Amino acid sequence: MTVSIVAMTAAHVDALMPHEREMFGTEAWSANAYRQEIADTELRHYVAAVDGAGAMLGWAGVMVIGETAQILTVGTVPQYRRRGVARTLVADLLQHARDRRASEVFLEVRVDNDAARALYAAAGFTEIAVRKGYYDRGRVDAVVMRRDV
Ligand SMILES: CC(C)(COP(=O)(O)OP(=O)(O)OC[C@H]1O[C@@H](n2cnc3c(N)ncnc32)[C@H](O)[C@@H]1OP(=O)(O)O)[C@@H](O)C(=O)NCCC(=O)NCCS
């Protein structure tokens, strides 16, 4: 499977919406929220991972303000998991942060999301803090992770 990274478009938003609620539950974003996010190209960088035929495999976004980058979302369509899609997406976000002269990058991840914590640890992030009750209306903690860009 070849994986290419392209700028996220409104068509990608439509393609990801069926997966968004299933993956992110109460934290799921609406299509409208995504459209607003991708329109803000000054601070934000949203990308889709696509295969050779253009099918969307995953998506991700990062925001850079000053020297600080924040990963906003990363998702891989279930049938394409464990094939390096998210690794490729995160590498693209880090390259963008580097291009924008950010010096450090942060993210939050649910404490019970073992797959994502393993993904970010493998990408060089370390866990620096816990935000109590950050998700699910106070029920689930967030782990804050950071790495140098
Ligand atoms: C987390 C997620 C993005 C990983 O996507 P993916 O494309 O399957 O990840 P990759 O194939 O690029 O995996 C890269 C590395 O991450 C780690 N990893 C990924 N999924 C893992 C899992 N289920 N269990 C353990 N480690 C995992 C491994 O180190 C993996 O390398 P390896 O396959 O060589 O062992 C995907 O499971 C997903 O979309 N989950 C739902 C949405 C989500 O939780 N997003 C993150 C929110 S912060």
Q: Record the tokens describing residue 128, joined without a space.
A: 């620096």
Mean pLDDT of 121-136: 97
Cα(113) to centroid(ligand 1), Å: 10
* pLDDT tens-digit series, residues 90-116: 999 999 999 999 999 999 999 999 999
Residues above pLDDT 70, as percent of the chain: 100
**Ligand 1 cavity residues, CB under 6 Å:** 23, 58, 74-76, 81-87, 109, 113-116, 118-119, 122
Residue 148's Cβ-count burial label (10 Å; 0-12, 13-18, 19+) is exposed
At residue 26 the predicted structure's pLDDT band, cuts being 50, 70 and 90, is confident
SS3 label, residue 69: strand
Average pLDDT of the chain, as a whole number:
97
**pTM for this entry:** 0.97
Cα(120) to centroid(ligand 1), Å: 8
Domains and CATH numbers, the chain: 4-148 (3.40.630.30)
Amino acid at 125: F
Cα(116) to centroid(ligand 1), Å: 5
